[in-house]
Structure 1
Amino acid sequence: MSTTPVAINVKLNARLQPEHRLQLFEDPLEAMLEAAGIGEIMGGGTALTEEGEVEYGDLEIQLHDATALPTVIELLEQLGAPKGSLIQREGEPDVSFGITEGLGLYLNGTDLPDEVYEQCDSNYVFDQIVERIGGHGEVCSWWQGPSETALYLYGASFETLRERIAELVATYPLCQGARVIKIA
């Protein structure tokens, strides 16, 4: 029985800077694919919005044959691939997968009183979020745009993440007017 190589594109529904995509998905997946002997990563990319925010990430994978596709999905889900991620293959329908949910916390970077920016620290917000969501998720990436700074949290439940940071968002001055949105 001969095998035919199959090219797939993994569209990760994750707002990750390229270095975070590499660290969280590309490098570990490459090692897993190699260990299983089923394929290799040929490249990756990042799609950006007009404002320069990450919209999603791509991984181009060459599989030794199509029978490895379910294994690739299983490996990506072990790594925490967000819901709404897709396997794309020429001539085939997209295959949706993913297990984690995402929360984007967008801090207002321009409209708060000057003293808030002078007296508050986004690193404090980051540290407090890490502490509050411990065991339920993690801050996987961030983005600083022209008028907002976003922190991207991923975990088993958007609602749990939202609830665990709600008090901080409601009380810390730098979080005034912050947007909390479901991103996966």
Structure 2
Amino acid sequence: MLSLLIVGIGIALTGSESRSTEAGAQGPVDVFVRIPEAIWPVARGEKYEDPIDAALRGAGLGEVTGGGSQLGPSAPDGTPTIEWVGIDVELSELERGLPLLKRELRRIGAPAETAIESRRGGTQVSEGL
């Protein structure tokens, strides 16, 4: 069923990957950005992934590692719809990278309801812009 598919969203919060997802731990921290916008993959890359990646890499604070779309119910004509998009980000330093990520998301026009998810102290944390 297409409405249940998440395309390319990766393993940002599964806890099973080899690098750390815990804030305060040594090494990179994976975060997932959930953007409530119906935008197709190429446009998502141009609007969000490319500028965020450039900003994080430029500051030496991380990179975009993937992205995807949550498909919604098909339109009456049968074409797929998108409910929201997601971006996987690896931050080398959560304390410095997270504020930069939030500033960049606001600068490029992410909706106010955008959520940034990470794991801190073994707990999943979701915060806004």
More helix by percentage: 1
Contact 1:41 1:61 in 2 (8 A): yes
Contact 1:7 1:63 in 2 (8 A): yes
For residue 59 of structure 1, what is the aligned residue in structure 2? 87
Per-residue Cα deviation, 1:22-51 (whole angstroms, up to 9, x for no partner) = 111111111111111100111000001021
What TM-score do the two structures reach when normalised by structure 2?
A: 0.70
46, 51, 56: which one aligns with 2:69 = 46
What TM-score do the two structures reach when normalised by structure 1?
A: 0.50
Mark the runs of 5 or more structure 1 residues left unpaired by the alignment: 98-184
Partner amino acid for 1:35?
Answer: G
Aligned equivalents of 2:26 and 2:99: distance in 1? 16
Of all paired residues, the percent bearing the same amino acid is 28
CA drift of 1:57 comes to: 0.6
Aligned equivalents of 1:63 and 1:96: distance in 2? 17
Aligned equivalents of 1:56 and 1:94: distance in 2? 16
Alignment partner of 1:4 is 2:27? yes
Alignment root-mean-square deviation, CA: 1.4
Which aligned pairs between 1:44-123 and structure 2 lie closer than 5 A?
A: 44-51=67-74, 52-67=80-95, 68-90=97-119, 91-97=123-129
Determine which structure has greater relative contact order: mean sequence separation of CA pairs < 8 Å that are 6+ residues apart, divided by chain length. 2
Secondary structure in 2 matching 1:81: coil
